[in-house]
Structure 1
Amino acid sequence: MEGENTPAVDFVFFGYVQGLEAELGYFSLSELEQLRGALRLPVERDLYFEPCRLSAITSGKVR
């Protein structure tokens, strides 16, 4: 989103994303709401998410 104007009402997040590539970066709430997975399902909140270190995710210990 660098170089883009985002509306004042849009929330901007920074996080780890595993899409076509795994990367840390910024993304907006409106982008997140528009995403669809392989089966065209929207992104949902993981009700069973437990915080962990990023290194646990990138090493494959956590999925």
Structure 2
Amino acid sequence: MEAGICLAGGGAQIRGLGERIEDAVKMRVWVAEDPMTCVARGAGRVLEDFEYFKEVLAKDDRSRRRV
């Protein structure tokens, strides 16, 4: 987290949220360019190149094999 925290989505537009997070965690916080669509665009990139990203995606209990 060298670069800090990037806020995206609708919550990123809450007035003062970035500053409050910055004060709480003492890290740089900024709002993504076009925060309302960047989450969808990022998800689209993952789907387009799933093989590349699959190793870093979190797995939940449903994806584990049951014995």
**Which structure dedicates a bigger proportion of its chain to helix?**
2
Larger Rg: 2
Give the shorter-chain TM-score range.
under 0.3
Task: Answer 1 or 2: higher relative contact order, Cα 8 Å, separation at least 6.
Answer: 2
